[in-house]
Structure 1
């Protein structure tokens, strides 16, 4: 039963994520079990600003990063100065920033490849093979906002069929990379 002296930290409607983050900062919950800390980390994960580099490999200058071609390295006259290992290092760094598996950038027109220009600040068409998402980098969206948008677009654009129990459950699912899972669970073992 509520008494007049009860003090609530939250007095208005907030999202579940905000509620978890606010409540987990209370002194009584600081020494809580590991599962509660995992829930807090997931709430923090959902609050991250959405970036293009979470979907596809983007270099530090904002350009789409392709895997360096080993044949170019092997066919080069000057093995030492051809830049292959620098490109490979940049590509691997870009891969480690990806949080969601299976996304790619669609060309804006059939005659243009994905490495058309700096992608930051542009509308970039992303796809997971089923849903096309118009992604705008720096649009003040969070990962939590993205989940809502993805589910809405998937509901509108993907033909729904009656469930038979034999479906591939990956349909409509956003698969997390090891990088994302480490952020949520706090260690490599999940």
Structure 2
């Protein structure tokens, strides 16, 4: 018998004092049986970085041709394509031809090697690559619950994600 997805829900409140943006989002995510808690929480951070009511979690690991998140316009045209992890360079290149904005949110110990190896990415003008620190991804795992109340505060470029039991300082580095 195949394992089924585990459903997680998060109420995400974003207080971005740098941009005077204050929003609430109700997120529902399916965790693939092979997905780690770390990756699940990185998907939430990816959502927060590009937060928009039209941004959606996709089937991702269930459907290999889909990113972790995407945003479509009213006609169904892809506008944003957001990958999480260290995706195949050709998949990102294909997405950049289909979308106005493509982003990759990377994490883990092999990010620098992955980025160095994928030289085609540097030629794509509509692709952003963001790297999360290991300390950040370790800290956000402590915030994970099946039902989460999360508060993200952004002030002076510093991100702090607060949950019921803990908080995490989120350290981003833009590689591209």
Q: Structure 2 length as normaliser, TM-score?
A: 0.25
Which structure has the highest strand share of the two?
2
Pick the structure with greater CA Rg: 1
Q: Structure 1 length as normaliser, TM-score?
A: 0.24
